[in-house]
């Protein structure tokens, strides 16, 4: 019996690519006195490249940007602080996010969220999306001392939700950190399709749009 659905955040519920570009665009404008000599598109494109889809922390990104673009009048520390304090205001959800969470909640499905990252930053992003109230358990790697793909964080999330891993669906975009790891923890693994990655062969189902998860859930319920 499926009793719980758990989600990844970045690339699954939060459109991180769109959010990052929106943030960098705004930062370039806010810090025009220091960044105005850099063409905006060049600044955005290089930031996105150095960011490596979030797998490079921003201290290294800003240090590299300052060196490459010969930025003066500020420091990488100040730009990093601006990122930490302002990124949540640029958060873009994937389509049908609230509609999906409302529908799952209406069906009596308990919801959880597991994300790697810094606790304060990720919680700010979750709150900016307006989704915190839907989740009975939110696990952030920094706070838990565990990070995906460690299967223990999935089992811990299931425990906090009061369900067995086998009664849980996990939805994420990363083939290893989300799909493979959640399956190893005993969960049904759904891949939120991302063209950046090759399709994980071990995914139990694939969705493009979040609301497609409702149909996937019904299929698994019928198979039980």
Q: How much is the pLDDT for 170?
A: 98
- How buried is 22 (Cβ within 10 angstroms: 0-12 exposed, 13-18 middle, 19+ buried)? middle
Nearby residues of 77 by Cβ (< 8 Å), 6 or more positions away? none
- Contacts of residue 201, defined as CB under 8 A and 6 or more positions apart, other chains included, come to none
Domain at 4-15+93-223: CATH architecture: 3-Layer(aba) Sandwich (3.40)
If we measure between CA atoms, which residue out of 43, 44, 51, 48 comes closest to residue 68?
43
Residues 6+ apart with CB under 8 A from 88: 121, 124, 125, 127, 128
Count of beta carbons in the 10 Å neighbourhood of residue 39: 11
Contact 122, 91 (CB under 8 A): no
- Determine the pLDDT at residue 195: 83
CA–CA gap between residue 174 and residue 101 (Å, rounded): 21
- CB 91: neighbour CB atoms within 10 A? 21
Distance, in Å, from the CA atom of 1 to the CA atom of 215, rounded to the nearest integer, reads 16
The b/e string for 172-187 (b: 16+ C-beta within 10 A; e otherwise) is bbbbebbbbbbbbbbb
Tens digits of pLDDT across the chain (224 residues)? 899 999 999 999 999 999 999 999 999 999 999 999 999 999 999 999 999 988 898 999 999 999 999 999 999 999 999 999 999 999 999 999 999 999 999 999 999 999 999 999 999 999 999 999 999 999 999 999 999 999 999 999 999 999 999 999 999 999 999 999 999 999 999 999 998 877 776 899 999 999 999 999 998 776 55
Give the predicted TM-score (pTM) of the model. 0.93
Q: Measure the CA–CA gap between 104 and 5, rounded to whole angstroms.
A: 8
Res 197: pLDDT: 79
């Amino acid at each position: 019996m499926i009793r719980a659905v758990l989600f990844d955040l970045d690339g699954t519920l939060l459109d991180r690519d769109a959010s990052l570009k929106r943030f960098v665009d705004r930062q370039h404008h806010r810090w025009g006195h220091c960044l105005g000599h850099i063409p905006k598109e060049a600044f955005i494109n290089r930031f996105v490249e150095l960011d490596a889809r979030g797998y490079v922390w921003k201290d290294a990104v800003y240090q590299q940007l300052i060196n490459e673009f010969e930025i003066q009048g500020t420091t990488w520390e100040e730009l990093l602080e601006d990122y930490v304090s302002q990124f949540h205001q640029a958060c873009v959800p994937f389509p049908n996010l609230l509609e999906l969470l409302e529908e799952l909640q209406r069906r009596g499905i308990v919801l959880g969220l597991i994300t790697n990252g810094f606790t304060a930053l990720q919680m700010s992003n979750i709150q900016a999306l307006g989704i915190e109230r839907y989740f009975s358990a939110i696990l952030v790697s920094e706070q838990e001392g565990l990070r995906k793909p460690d299967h223990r964080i999935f089992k811990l999330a299931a425990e906090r939700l009061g369900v067995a891993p086998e009664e849980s669906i996990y939805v994420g975009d990363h083939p290893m950190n989300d799909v493979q790891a959640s399956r190893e923890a005993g969960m049904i693994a759904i891949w939120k399709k991302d063209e950046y990655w090759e399709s994980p062969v071990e995914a139990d189902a694939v969705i493009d749009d979040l609301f497609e998860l409702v149909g996937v859930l019904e299929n698994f319920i019928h198979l039980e």
